Structure 1
Amino acid sequence: MTTPSLRPHRARTPPQRPAWPGWVLAAAVASALAPQAHADAPAADGQAPAMATAQAAPSISLAAAWDKALAANPGLQAARYGAAAAEGLVLQSQARPNPELSVNIEDTRRETRTNTVQINQLVELGGKREARMQLAETEKAAAEAGVAASQAALRYQVLVNFNELLLAQQRVDFATQTHALASQALDAANKRVQAGKVPPLEASRAQVAQANAALELEQARSLTGVAQQNLASLWGGRGAELGMAQGDFAATAQAPTAEQLDQRLDDAPAMLLARRALEQSRAASAVERSKRVQDPTLSLGVKRAQDVGRNQVFVGVSIPLPLFDNNAGNQLQALRKVDQAEQLLQDQRLQLQAQVFAARQQWLSSNQQVALLQSQVVPTAQSAYDLAVRGFSLGKFSFLDVLDAQRSLFDSQRLLLDQRMASHRARAEIERIFGTPALATAATGT
């Protein structure tokens, strides 16, 4: 994968060949700013670049990373098992009370002994079984909504970690360019010092700039490894097994309108979870309300009296008397739970509205800054840097002026990368809230 340069592609008119030391620096600048310059730049420690190692491994796309996480993420698997466990709850709720067998023996003497065998059956009244089944169904629906919420959260992590890897790769590219440029500039400054054109202080400044560039390059390579591990950890993999991430990091999508987002807010996974919780509380209240009707127990048995020498069939019924416990406390608690769930549903919507508004504002702001940086800031910094290099080659500027222009250029390029990442992160946050990737409109890039 070749990462596009943030520097605008425009034709340049090469300057007239100045004195020997300045011409060397100008050529070094042109070579370092070329897109392929980073491929030939040596590593600061003499080892192969980390990105070259990553290229040896198979590259990975966002779709492939999502498929891996969808199939093997432990958190998502746990949510799926929770939904599967709810199937057992539904099955158990359909069961009726078991009959009860009772055997009684009166008197130990055989000639006067009485044997009794009876079956007792509890009969549920008041819609208890139906209410229990409805409660189980709502708990199953809540577990399934939890799976959808876990999947949305996982997609957010995949999007953010994948874009973090793309960002790290871009930073390595720019750090490599910076290191190559600083190394060439140091060589040119040393030659100018030897020729007596500039004081030794210029070479010292160039050496400091080259050392800082080497440190930045090593840090960028290290962050790439961290980003690879963060992405691979979502499916239990290892970052060393990942190659380059394939994606257009420079492309930023336009944010949806506020009306479009507000219309879809009720379909968000968090709202679905809150509605399922409300349904659960209502079903639980119905279960407690059904307990107001007492359940009778029917009895059917046979009694054998040895002294009489015959069997007696009897039928009985027993009904609890709700004198001390009429389940009033549980009913009151269930009703207040319903009130609580209704308020939590409204509160959840308000929270989501605030989160969507903040994420959309960040999305719009980042896109605006990306457009401004691409159209004005980076080209202006590039022109200022080119002028500083030409002026230094002609002896009009000091190397400190070149360093200032170089710092401004790379700061603007780093800011552009940061704002692109902020745009991608805001988009991922919106998609996490709504649980769907199909929210962005037209995409734009450099």
Structure 2
Amino acid sequence: MSSNRWPLRAALASAACGALYGAAAAQTAPPLETLLREASAPRLMVGEAETRAAEGRALQARARPNPTLDLQVENVGGEGPYRDFQSAETTLSVGQTLELGGKRGARIATARAEVDTARSRAGLGRVAFARDLVVAYATAEAAGERLNIAKDGVDLAETDARAARLLVDNGKEAELRALQAKAAASAAQAEVSRAEAEQGAALARLAALTGGERTFTAVTPGVLDRAWSASVATAEAPTVAVAQAEQQVAARKLDLERRRATPDVTVSFGLRRLAGDDATAAVAGVSLPLPLFDRNRGAVASARAEADAARARLLMAQADATADRRSAEGEARAADRSAAAAHEGEGAAREAYRLARLGYEAGKLPLIELLSARCDLVAARQRHIEARLARAKASADLAQANGQIAFGDAR
């Protein structure tokens, strides 16, 4: 009997542990500033890894060509006096290639420019990630407020339904009005289910963006109501900084390809052992390739074209950054005004519903007026949420256009 209970006990223990782990893993999301500071998203890891790779290539660019060790044995294995090693000539030499024309310096400069480009791209990635994180956080907060509004709507609808039933029972309303109020309460309950699904999806996107394995059940409120004004941008936009760095890389590569047309010299020095004469002699040599067929013209032409393209991309990035910044400033101002107007509209709708409810309970207004006022109130609260969310998104877009992080530390 006891042996049959062990599997059941093990299953119950496992289920209990799973429930406890799920409760521990699910939590309220930390404040936005904490996520901005501590997030380890894969998107950020990519930029960091690419920067380290460029730094490794820059370190390798400083390396000089390795020397060569050459061993030659001549006059062996022949006939007569050259049988065996009696007349052998053994030469041991060391050769070193000397890079001429400033190739090494140009190669190092190109690698350094590539490091700057990788860092600029990583900075662009951080700013873009911060923008997306702000939007995701604000969206999750808005979803939570929509859920609260939906729940409040259920309470209001049920209160209206009870009031309608009371008037019906007192003979002041037809049975149809009670049915209408009950249907409105059912519709409000369905809205709660939809709002719960939207909140779950928004929280899941936020958790996925942070790159962790945590499960969020809510966010720390305050992002939608936080005021953020962009400081005057003193640096180039991140996209322009990347384009400038890429233009520098292209210019360095063009200079490097031009210098590669200069041939390198290889010098060698060694000792030769003359077995037949029982003597040792020094040997030295110099080798220089003749640039008759390969003068690196194709590579120079290609690098020149890439430099022209990089300059064109820089001009495009500067024009786009100016347009994006002006557009983001306009959107931010408009979103701020819309949020203020929506706040006033919500207050007016709340007062209208209060008066409609008093009028209905006093028998001075029909049920349709009360239901309409309640729908207007819910819609006004929804519009206020949407306006605040649009303001947060506009602030994040403006921050990205200025190369800054909204609601966080400056880049």
Instruction: Show the counterpart of 1:387.
Output: 355
Partners of 2:292 and 2:28 in 1: CA distance? 75
Shift in Å at residue 60 of structure 1?
Answer: 2.5
Q: Do structure 1's residue 356 and structure 2's residue 331 form an aligned pair?
A: no
Q: Do structure 1's residue 82 and structure 2's residue 50 form an aligned pair?
A: yes
Q: Do structure 1's residue 341 and structure 2's residue 310 form an aligned pair?
A: yes
Show the 5 A alignment for 1:115-194: 115-194=90-169
Show the 5 A alignment for 1:4-19: none
CA contact (8 A) 1:281 1:337 kept: yes
Partners of 2:223 and 2:275 in 1: CA distance? 94
CA contact (8 A) 1:389 1:402 kept: yes
Match of 2:182 among 193, 201, 207: 207
Q: Do structure 1's residue 280 and structure 2's residue 280 form an aligned pair?
A: no
Partners of 2:227 and 2:376 in 1: CA distance? 24
CA contact (8 A) 2:130 2:406 kept: no
Q: How many residues align?
A: 378
Instruction: Show the counterpart of 1:429.
Output: 397
CA contact (8 A) 2:31 2:220 kept: yes
Aligned residues with identical type, % of pairs:
28
Letter in 2 for 1:276: A
Residue 63 and residue 230 in structure 1: after superposition, are their counterparts in 2 closer, same or farther (change >3 A)? same
Which ranges in structure 2 are unaligned for 5 or more consecutive residues? 1-22, 78-82
Partners of 1:299 and 1:390 in 2: CA distance? 105
Instruction: Show the counterpart of 1:237.
Output: 212
Provide Cα deviations, 1:373-432, integer angstroms capped at 9, x if missing partner: 223x33332333233323322333321222122212221221111011001001111212
Instruction: Show the counterpart of 1:223.
Output: 198
Match of 2:172 among 194, 197, 209: 197
Q: Do structure 1's residue 365 and structure 2's residue 365 form an aligned pair?
A: no
Residue 57 and residue 103 in structure 1: after superposition, are their counterparts in 2 closer, same or farther (change >3 A)? closer
Provide Cα deviations, 1:151-193, integer angstroms capped at 9, x if missing partner: 1122112211221122122212221211100011112212222
CA contact (8 A) 2:131 2:405 kept: no
Shift in Å at residue 232 of structure 1?
Answer: 2.2
CA contact (8 A) 1:270 1:348 kept: yes
Moved more, 303-312 or 406-415: 303-312
Moved more, 236-245 or 289-298: 236-245
Residue 59 and residue 133 in structure 1: after superposition, are their counterparts in 2 closer, same or farther (change >3 A)? closer
Q: Secondary structure at the match of 1:247?
A: coil
Partners of 1:210 and 1:350 in 2: CA distance? 54
Letter in 2 for 1:117: L
Match of 1:290 among 259, 266, 278: 259
Partners of 2:337 and 2:130 in 1: CA distance? 26
Shift in Å at residue 238 of structure 1?
Answer: 4.6
Measured on the aligned residues, the alpha-carbon RMSD in Å equals 2.4
Q: Do structure 1's residue 309 and structure 2's residue 278 form an aligned pair?
A: yes
Match of 2:373 among 405, 419, 423: 405
Moved more, 192-201 or 421-430: 192-201
Which ranges in structure 1 are unaligned for 5 or more consecutive residues? 1-52, 441-446
Partners of 1:398 and 1:390 in 2: CA distance? 11
Partners of 1:243 and 1:374 in 2: CA distance? 24
Shift in Å at residue 340 of structure 1?
Answer: 0.8
CA contact (8 A) 1:152 1:433 kept: no
Residue 239 and residue 90 in structure 1: after superposition, are their counterparts in 2 closer, same or farther (change >3 A)? closer
Match of 1:104 among 57, 69, 72: 72
Letter in 2 for 1:68: E
CA contact (8 A) 1:111 1:306 kept: yes
Letter in 2 for 1:272: A
Provide Cα deviations, 1:112-156, integer angstroms capped at 9, x if missing partner: 322222222111010011011111111111111122112112211
Show the 5 A alignment for 1:245-256: 245-247=220-222, 249-253=224-228
TM-score of the pair, normalised by structure 1: 0.79
CA contact (8 A) 2:396 2:406 kept: no
TM-score of the pair, normalised by structure 2: 0.85
Shift in Å at residue 433 of structure 1?
Answer: 2.7
Partners of 2:57 and 2:31 in 1: CA distance? 40
Residue 288 and residue 248 in structure 1: after superposition, are their counterparts in 2 closer, same or farther (change >3 A)? closer
Shift in Å at residue 372 of structure 1?
Answer: 1.9
Residue 383 and residue 255 in structure 1: after superposition, are their counterparts in 2 closer, same or farther (change >3 A)? farther
Match of 1:325 among 278, 281, 294: 294
CA contact (8 A) 1:135 1:283 kept: yes
Shift in Å at residue 339 of structure 1?
Answer: 1.0
Partners of 2:187 and 2:227 in 1: CA distance? 31
